[in-house]
Chain A
């Protein structure tokens, strides 16, 4: 199992405020209700005793609090996520604030960097400066991103960061290719959404081959799914809701995710935003538990704030982190593992703004103790761009944050007094030799690896060298017999993926 980092969780909401929001969410579901565009879900809710009325092209569902309460009670508080390498398995326990840092989301742009040398007009000074260019992501890029994820020490689980846009990729073959590439390039847990429900069983069959059979996959679920069942405000979308129902029936772990934007698709106020997103997530959790009690689900909160200049998402705004911390507390209140969000920069390129925006949210949201913190690696331009270079820098920022959030060690007062006594009786009065034991126990942050000694910031250049080193490492592929079987039995995988890309 991966270690992650256990934190002493910080709180933003007081206990009575959590209860107020809980009651507000239940009141929303009971009195305002949800618009549901999926017929089967409407039937499931009606059968459970919800008030379902047919409207034009949708159903209006009002859910009594008791149904929601029973669903929360039924949901598992511990969800296990498997991995090709069992050392990379994750245990998400709602009652333990062990934070795992995870990648995501499926970006359209893949950001490349090149370094050019510029010479000052007088010819006396030279500088190497980064030049960035964005292009649509491909299967090769996804393979590199997964391989990079395998080699980033602080990345605990992989959610695909690249939307594969090769011309051979279609709606029908996208899922199987996407999951295959991820699984073939990382031994960490792979989580993803589904483009076409028709591919669900195909993807699961492939995962079963790798895991060693249906039962083996159940015991070691090396893949899991994300469903954005809700379109804010308060609408259950037809296709993703159906995805949720079918994934739950197949006993796979599922994230029930909602991503309202404060100020446009949800209230801007903290109380209003959190009451609404909480109601939306609870709707999905309730549906999942009605389909199959004790279905393993994650409370998926991705609230963000409207950018005032253009109404795009703003992940760099402090309110983004505040909303997320509130949601982590709500998930803890319900004892359901939390899939939360941090580390997205609004800017398009790596640099000071990106680092500032990312580190603020890593620190604040991680300190609240979500079990699964996604969007944490390489995301720029909100969630539109993935930069592998930025992911390398992010890995180091997360390393720093993890050191910062370490819970204090049991104090060893006799040892401390011995040290002070020894040093005070020595000539040099230096404690340096005692650093070594502390460092060996990995209690000390060793120092920023991309620091320059000169009068320029070389982070990007040094991180780029590090990226090249990581990508040059050998890939940990799926075993040959399993690969053979996959290419023989699973439809739709692009032939060139058989060769090592």
Chain B
């Protein structure tokens, strides 16, 4: 099996590093995505595009298994995390290989809210899908989000909130983006337990994401 096939297999297995268990038993100790990617990069002329193809192909297979009910969210996340790790390792090499980024996604839980699990899951999935994710963390003020959009030349903003009291902050972020003249440059996606599509419309967001898959789906759609 070639190194690229092994990378693809380990993406499907959801193995980031050698200590990881996979979907299949008995893989602990064998090189996983990180080790295999580093091996490719150590070569004289690393084949970056082929490596990205094997990562994408692995994720496509994971998606197919998820659709068929064989894989669940933890499997999907493990694979996305492995791809995310690979993308971090590859980042310095992308420009040289003429690989164009899918775009920068600014991610934050809004001011006053410390809940970050949903945001983290979406960040892993987007990274696994090949986007550059800049995660600003939780309890993030609107001004910091606006600065990041400007600095990173971002195309997408993802806002998360778990509380009915903090979800109102999302409207404030969108207003600040408008005032800073950035609103037309970015698509704003919102999500979180108390939200609805009605609320997203009301505050002027571009999409309400019921779960992480919708976040990836909308982002891919907006990219086109």
Q: Which residues of A contact B (CB under 8 A)?
A: 428-430, 432-433, 435-437, 439-440, 446
Report which of A429, A433, A440 forms a contact with B116, defined as CB distance below 8 A. A429
B21 touches A432 (CB 8 A): no
A439 touches B25 (CB 8 A): no
Contact A440:B120 (CB < 8 A) given known A433-B81, A446-B72: no
Report which of A428, A437, A440 forms a contact with B124, defined as CB distance below 8 A. A428
In the complex, B73 has a CB within 8 A of chain A: yes
Report which of B14, B23, B75, B120 forms a contact with A430, defined as CB distance below 8 A. B120
A433 touches B14 (CB 8 A): yes
Contact A440:B73 (CB < 8 A) given known A428-B124, A432-B78: no
Contact A433:B20 (CB < 8 A) given known A440-B25, A446-B72: yes
Instruction: For the complex formed, measure the closest distance between the CB of A283 and the CB atoms of chain B, giving whole angstroms.
Output: 52
Q: How far is the CA of A257 from the CA of B120 in the complex (A)?
A: 58
Show 24 A/B contacts (Cβ-Cβ < 8 Å), sorted by A.
Answer: A428-B81, A428-B120, A428-B123, A428-B124, A429-B117, A430-B77, A430-B120, A430-B124, A432-B73, A432-B74, A432-B78, A433-B20, A433-B77, A433-B78, A433-B81, A435-B72, A435-B74, A436-B21, A436-B23, A436-B74, A436-B75, A436-B78, A439-B74, A440-B25
In the complex, B90 has a CB within 8 A of chain A: no
In the complex, B195 has a CB within 8 A of chain A: no
Instruction: For the complex formed, measure the closest distance between the CB of A100 and the CB atoms of chain B, giving whole angstroms.
Output: 28
Instruction: Give the A-B pair count, Cβ closer than 8 A.
Output: 36
Q: How far is the CA of A439 from the CA of B75 in the complex (A)?
A: 11
Contacts of B120 in A (CB 8 A): 428-430
Instruction: For the complex formed, measure the closest distance between the CB of B71 and the CB atoms of chain A, giving whole angstroms.
Output: 10
Contacts of A429 in B (CB 8 A): 116-117, 120
Q: How far is the CA of A440 from the CA of B70 in the complex (A)?
A: 12
Total interface residues on B, CB under 8 Å, equals 18
Q: How far is the CA of A63 from the CA of B7 in the complex (A)?
A: 78
Please name the residue on chain A nearest to B22 by beta carbon. A436
Instruction: For the complex formed, measure the closest distance between the CB of A415 and the CB atoms of chain B, giving whole angstroms.
Output: 12
Q: How far is the CA of A465 from the CA of B81 in the complex (A)?
A: 36
Contacts of A433 in B (CB 8 A): 14, 20, 74, 77-78, 81
Q: How far is the CA of A429 from the CA of B135 in the complex (A)?
A: 14
Q: How far is the CA of A439 from the CA of B120 in the complex (A)?
A: 22
Contacts of B74 in A (CB 8 A): 432-433, 435-436, 439
Interface hits, B1-30 → A, CB 8 Å: 14, 20-21, 23, 25
A430 touches B72 (CB 8 A): no
Interface hits, B99-132 → A, CB 8 Å: 116-117, 120-121, 123-124
Please name the residue on chain B nearest to A453 by beta carbon. B210
Please name the residue on chain B nearest to A433 by beta carbon. B78
Report which of B20, B77, B116, B123 forms a contact with A432, defined as CB distance below 8 A. B77
Q: How far is the CA of A436 from the CA of B116 in the complex (A)?
A: 22
Interface hits, B62-112 → A, CB 8 Å: 72-75, 77-78, 81
Please name the residue on chain B nearest to A422 by beta carbon. B19
Contacts of A440 in B (CB 8 A): 25
Contacts of A430 in B (CB 8 A): 77, 117, 120-121, 124
Q: How far is the CA of A432 from the CA of B122 in the complex (A)?
A: 13
A437 touches B116 (CB 8 A): no
Contacts of B14 in A (CB 8 A): 433, 436
Contacts of B72 in A (CB 8 A): 435, 439, 446
Q: How far is the CA of A435 from the CA of B120 in the complex (A)?
A: 17
B77 touches A437 (CB 8 A): no
Interface centre among A430, A436, A437, A446 (most CB of B within 10 A): A436
Contacts of B124 in A (CB 8 A): 428, 430
